[in-house]
């Protein structure tokens, strides 16, 4: 009897650290997540999405947790020598409120103005999950959707996956897009007009692994009991590419879980030199202003219909102009302005927002950030 009692005590003690860690539930106070990703291209973007549970309050019998959200973004330049520099950095912040109940994590939904399901942990393979749309980005307007109001997810499989030495039960899901037959893409006002959102945790559909990512096995279209989403951040992303851009599943913003820690465990993916809270590329670009190029002025800024480049003297031979948006997508391909002293650029039909104007002359690039409003 004594031997059995000792054995029982041993088993209970062995289980205790695991139970104590699990008893904290999802997103315990002090837990931190970092998601890291790139949008590739000659002018690319590097992202860091950081989350931290900073408060836990009991309200109506539920432990409501406050999550601080910081979205960091920098535009990165790949030159012909292979070096990479960054050109500018932006930061946006917001907060999330969530709680856990009956194998479901509930999050306060700005679209519906109430708590709605985010993670469902009692699902089985083959189940269809309907997760209400979340207007998650701090700069997005909180508009009520007019079309289908949910992500439709199919549970493909449930497996245990190793994340940097830490095992976590992982729910692999695929996205049901809905029937878009006969949809007039040119009349879309935003993602709310689509039968289903364009992209969520399953954006790996258009992803080609490169570099360090080629060797990673961390899934994109999945979420876990331990830390939530494995790709796109803590919440599923939704996005919309307005006309004249092509609409497709996956906007190539590829954020994967990079680091996670709470008071009992932690893991980090990628190389040791890549910190949890820093960009990979930290060498700033030596920016040449367009205004410094032979006294060039750009006006009006912001522009509604026409953007004017006015120089004190005609541009030299082989001078070209191009424009990208803030995601590095080409809006105007290289256009010669050689010999011109004034160049009028029509911005009618451009989506309102910020753009980067690039003048190239004698192997040098000159940049100017401009605004388009309508």
Q: Does residue 62 belong to any structural domain of this protein?
A: yes
Domain-embedded: residue 158:
yes
Among 268, 299, 331, give the residue marking a domain's end.
268
> What's the CA angle centered on 327, arms 326 and 330, to 5 degrees?
90
Quick one: 253 and 325 in the same domain? no
Same domain, 163 and 203: yes
Residues in a beta bridge with 157: 172
**In the chain, how long is the greatest CA-to-CA distance?**
99
The whole-number mean pLDDT for each consecutive block of 10 residues of the chain, a chain of 374 residues, reads 40 38 73 84 80 95 94 79 74 91 91 88 91 61 48 86 88 70 62 56 45 48 88 70 41 70 86 70 68 77 91 88 76 89 92 85 79 87
Please report whether residue 6 resides in a domain: no
Where does residue 369 rank: exposed (0-12), middle (13-18), buried (19+ CB within 10 A)?
middle
pLDDT at 185: 59
224 and 296 part of one domain: no
Look at residue 15 and tell me if it is in a domain: no
- Is 275 among the domain residues? no
Distance of CA 82 to the CA centre of its chain: 25
Helix and strand totals (H; E) in the chain: 1, 20
Burial of 193-211, coded b for 16+ CB within 10 Å and e otherwise, reads: bbebbbbbbbbbeeeeeee
Q: Which domain holds residue 305?
A: 290-372
pLDDT the model gives residue 317:
86
Q: Is residue 93 part of a domain?
A: yes
Whether residue 357 is contained in a domain is answered as yes
Residue 113 lies in a domain: yes
What pLDDT shows up at residue 358? 85
CA atoms within 13 A on the CB side of 185: 12
pLDDT given at position 178:
55
The residues near 74 (Cβ < 8 Å, ≥ 6 apart) are 45, 46, 86, 87, 88, 89, 90, 279, 281
Other CB atoms within 10 A of residue 97 CB: 16
Number of domains within the chain: 2
Residues 230 and 313 in one domain: no
Q: What is the pLDDT at residue 91?
A: 84
Q: Are 228 and 121 in contact (CB under 8 A)?
A: no
pLDDT at position 99: 96
Give the pLDDT confidence score for residue 190 in this predicted structure.
Answer: 56
Q: Residues in the chain, how many?
A: 374
Structure confidence at residue 297 (pLDDT): 87
Both 60 and 171 in one domain: the answer is: yes
Q: Give Cβ neighbours of residue 303 (< 8 Å, ≥ 6 apart).
A: 347, 370, 371, 372, 373
On whether both 233 and 311 belong to a single domain, the answer is no
Residue indicated by tokens 């939530």 = 228
Cis ω for the linkage preceding 302 (within 30 of 0): yes
Return the CATH number at 300: 2.60.40.3080
**Contact yes or no for 201/231 (Cβ under 8 A):** yes
Tokens standing for residue 237: 């992303």
Measured distance CA(136)–CA(295) in Å, rounded = 42
Domain boundary, last residue among 214, 233, 268: 268
pTM here is: 0.64
| 63: Cα within 13 Å, side-chain hemisphere | 15
* CA neighbor of 256 nearest in space, from 211, 290, 299, 294: 211
288, 280 Cβ separation under 8 angstroms: no
Q: What pLDDT is recorded for position 296?
A: 86
What pLDDT, on a 0 to 100 scale, did the predictor assign at position 22? 39
Residue 84 shares a structural domain with residue 211: yes
User: Do 169 and 78 share a structural domain?
Assistant: yes
Round to whole Å and give the CA distance between 295 and 63.
60
177 and 144: one domain? Answer: yes
Among positive and negative, which fits the CA dihedral 14, 16, 17, 23? Answer: positive
Own/partner contacts of 49-54, CB < 8 Å, gap of 24 or more, are 49/233, 49/234, 49/255, 50/277, 51/96, 51/233, 51/234, 53/27, 53/28, 53/29, 54/29
Q: Are strands 364-372 and 353-361 parallel, antiparallel or unpaired?
A: antiparallel
pLDDT of the residue at 77: 79
Query: Checking phi first, is residue 23 left (phi over 0); if not, alpha (psi -120 to 50) or beta?
Result: alpha
Same domain for 134 and 166: yes
Do 59 and 194 have their domain in common? yes
257 and 309 assigned to the same domain: no
Q: Please give the pLDDT value at position 251.
A: 37
Strand order in the sheet with 297-299: 297-299, 306-310, 342-346
Q: What is the pLDDT of residue 346?
A: 93
Report the run of H or E that residue 98 belongs to, with start and end.
strand 84-101
Q: Retrieve residue 107's tokens.
A: 């999050």
């Amino acid at each position: 009897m004594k031997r059995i009692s000792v054995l029982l005590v041993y088993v209970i003690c062995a289980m205790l650290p695991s139970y104590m860690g699990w008893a904290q539930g999802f997103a315990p106070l002090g837990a931190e997540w970092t998601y890291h990703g790139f949008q590739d291209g000659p002018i690319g973007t590097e992202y860091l999405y950081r989350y931290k549970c900073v408060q836990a309050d009991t309200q109506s019998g539920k432990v409501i947790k406050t999550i601080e959200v910081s979205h960091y973004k920098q535009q990165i330049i790949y030159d012909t020598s292979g070096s990479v520099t960054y050109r500018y950095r932006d930061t946006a912040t917001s907060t999330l409120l969530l709680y856990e109940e009956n194998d479901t994590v509930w999050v306060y939904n700005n679209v519906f103005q109430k708590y709605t399901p985010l993670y469902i942990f009692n699902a089985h393979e083959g189940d269809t999950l309907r997760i209400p749309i979340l207007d998650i980005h701090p700069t997005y307007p909180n508009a009520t959707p007019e079309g289908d109001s949910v992500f439709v997810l199919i549970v493909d499989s449930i497996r245990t996956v190793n994340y940097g030495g830490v095992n976590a039960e992982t729910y692999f899901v695929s996205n049901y897009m809905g029937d878009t037959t006969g949809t007039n893409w040119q009349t879309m006002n935003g993602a709310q007009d689509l039968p289903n959102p364009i992209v969520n945790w399953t954006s790996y559909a258009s992803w080609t692994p490169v570099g360090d990512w080629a060797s990673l096995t961390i899934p994109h279209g999945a979420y876990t009991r331990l830390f939530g989403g494995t790709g796109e951040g803590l919440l599923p992303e939704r996005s919309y590419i307005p006309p004249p851009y092509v609409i497709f599943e996956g906007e190539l913003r590829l954020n994967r879980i990079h680091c996670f820690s709470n008071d009992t465990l932690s893991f980090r993916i990628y190389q040791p030199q890549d910190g949890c809270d820093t960009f990979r590329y930290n060498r700033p670009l030596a920016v040449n202003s367009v205004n410094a190029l032979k006294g060039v002025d750009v006006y009006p800024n912001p522009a509604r219909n026409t953007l004017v480049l006015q120089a004190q003297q005609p541009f030299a031979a082989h001078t070209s102009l191009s424009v990208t948006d803030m995601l590095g997508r080409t809006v105007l391909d290289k256009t010669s302005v050689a010999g011109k002293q004034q160049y009028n650029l029509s911005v009618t039909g451009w989506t309102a927002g910020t753009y980067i104007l690039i003048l190239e002359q004698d192997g040098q690039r000159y940049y100017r950030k401009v605004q388009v409003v309508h």
